Amino acid sequence: MTQTVHVPLGDRAYDVRIGFGLLKRAGAEIAPLLHRSRVAVVTDETVGAAHLDTLRQGLAAEGIDMVSLALPPGESTKGWPQFERTVEWLLEQRIERRDVVIALGGGVIGDLVGFAAAVLRRGVRFVQIPSSLLAQVDSSVGGKTGINAPQGKNLIGAFHQPALVLADIGLLNTLPPRDLLAGYGEVVKYGLLGDAAFFDWLERNGPALADGDADARAYAVKRSVEMKAEIVVRDETEQGDRALLNLGHTFCHALEKVTGYSARLLHGEGVAIGCALAFELSSRLGLCSQEDPSRVRAHLRDMKMKTDLADIEGDLPDADVLLDHMGQDKKVIDGQLRFILAKGIGQAFVTSDVPRDAVRSLLQDALAQR
């Protein structure tokens, strides 16, 4: 059964459709958006090899032609060269203002193609077909699009909401287990930031979800998307509450930076470790009980996920270097580090009022356990 989460953003409102076989039915889902029976699809070579034929057939079933471009897989695609290639390819394909561009892939493709759609002819509509768990629960919804700069990740971009998101749960079956679990880091984040009952549910159902339980996957994606949609509608351009979605991310960005954005640490793994650190910090500051960080860590361990700095292979720099990298996060305002802390599971809040020494000693202790 397909479920729908509506994102009510006025004239930029859209639906997130969640279910099985959506790729096969993409033609029927997308047809109402089209002024002519032709779309441009951008994917990466790995996702394209697995899913492009199904999408082509799904579109053809409704008489929709498709042209496609497959970019190299991986984070390094998300920069100027492949962005330029994509925009110029879309122009060569004569994609017009009223046409629709489809992003078929994970977060890299969704962000890059969304940004290309934002600037092409001053903005064309685009459809997200997220293929990873991380993209289904986070990056495909909410309209953050962009690419990386040599100076840092996601520093060039635009808010450009998709016209439709098709989250086909069946696509998760082709994900390597490590990628699925990394995406699960973002799912846990939603429970931790705003819904204790969802975290309880994840404690009970997370292992089945990881083992392939389709209903559990569909529910987790739907609940995550509902929570994201609610926050995005309150604060589309991140003037306030949307920062809650960055629970664990200030730590994560520093860890990603010092591990070179490499396979040593996937983004969702860094988010999971970052969430555990954010709860430990909250507990040390007397904001939540000592049981809360233990419970967060126990669940991540139960899921066989990276939980502590000790789970990151290879050397890590000392606490001051990590703190410096945290200070370069783009969420810093007037030089003040902003943290997402919690009064308990499901009760996160944004604050700049965190003593630097408390963060330093937290990191020193975490590093000492390696």
| Residues classed as catalytic | 122, 144, 186, 228, 238, 242, 246, 249, 253, 267
State residue 299 phi and psi, 5-degree precision: -65, -45
Q: What angle do CA 11, 12, 13 make, to 5 degrees?
A: 95
Distance from C-alpha of 160 to C-alpha of 170, rounded to nearest angstrom? 26
Question: Minimum Å distance from CB 229 to ligand GLY?
Answer: 11
Nearest CA among 94, 2, 76, 1 for reference residue 40: 94
Distance from C-alpha of 74 to C-alpha of 67, rounded to nearest angstrom? 22
Contacts of 196 (CB under 8 A, 6+ apart): 344, 345, 346, 347
- Work out whether 326 is an interface residue with ligand GLY (CB under 6 A): no
Number of residues that bind ligand GLY (CB under 6 A): 5
Question: Minimum Å distance from CB 247 to ligand GLY?
Answer: 10
Question: Minimum Å distance from CB 228 to ligand GLY?
Answer: 7
Q: Name the one range near ligand GLY by CB under 6 A: 137-145, 187-195, 264-272, 325-333.
A: 137-145
Q: Name the one range near ligand GLY by CB under 6 A: 50-58, 91-99, 138-146, 329-337.
A: 138-146
In one-letter notation, the amino acid at residue 294 is S
Cβ atoms of 107 and 135 within 8 Å: the answer is: yes
In the bound state with ligand GLY, the residue whose beta carbon lies nearer, of 59 and 113, is: 113
Instruction: Please give the sequence-ordered ranges of beta strands (E in DSSP) within 244-347, or none if there are none.
Output: 339-342
In the bound state with ligand GLY, the residue whose beta carbon lies nearer, of 114 and 206, is: 114
In the bound state with ligand GLY, the residue whose beta carbon lies nearer, of 111 and 280, is: 111
For residue 353, how many other CB atoms are within 10 A of its CB? Answer: 9
Q: What is the CA radius of gyration of the chain?
A: 20
Distance from C-alpha of 88 to C-alpha of 98, rounded to nearest angstrom? 17
In the bound state with ligand GLY, the residue whose beta carbon lies nearer, of 138 and 280, is: 138
- Work out whether 236 is an interface residue with ligand GLY (CB under 6 A): no
- Work out whether 267 is an interface residue with ligand GLY (CB under 6 A): no
- Work out whether 242 is an interface residue with ligand GLY (CB under 6 A): yes
Contacts of 262 (CB under 8 A, 6+ apart): none
In the bound state with ligand GLY, the residue whose beta carbon lies nearer, of 58 and 142, is: 142
Residue 348: alpha-carbon gap to chain centroid: 18
Binds ligand GLY (CB under 6 A): choice among 73, 106, 142, 194: 142
- Work out whether 189 is an interface residue with ligand GLY (CB under 6 A): no
Instruction: Please give the sequence-ordered ranges of beta strands (E in DSSP) within 200-248, or none if there are none.
Output: none
- Work out whether 245 is an interface residue with ligand GLY (CB under 6 A): yes
Question: Minimum Å distance from CB 56 to ligand GLY?
Answer: 30
- Work out whether 78 is an interface residue with ligand GLY (CB under 6 A): no
| DSSP 8-class letter at 336 | B
In the bound state with ligand GLY, the residue whose beta carbon lies nearer, of 144 and 160, is: 144
Binds ligand GLY (CB under 6 A): choice among 138, 168, 236, 269: 138
Q: Name the one range near ligand GLY by CB under 6 A: 64-72, 96-104, 136-144, 163-171.
A: 136-144
- Work out whether 268 is an interface residue with ligand GLY (CB under 6 A): no
CA dihedral sign of residues 243, 7, 145, 44: positive
Contacts of 45 (CB under 8 A, 6+ apart): 70, 71, 72, 73
In Å, the largest CA–CA distance within the chain is 62
In the bound state with ligand GLY, the residue whose beta carbon lies nearer, of 29 and 138, is: 138
Question: Minimum Å distance from CB 164 to ligand GLY?
Answer: 17
- Site residues (CB under 6 A) for ligand GLY? 138, 142, 144, 242, 245
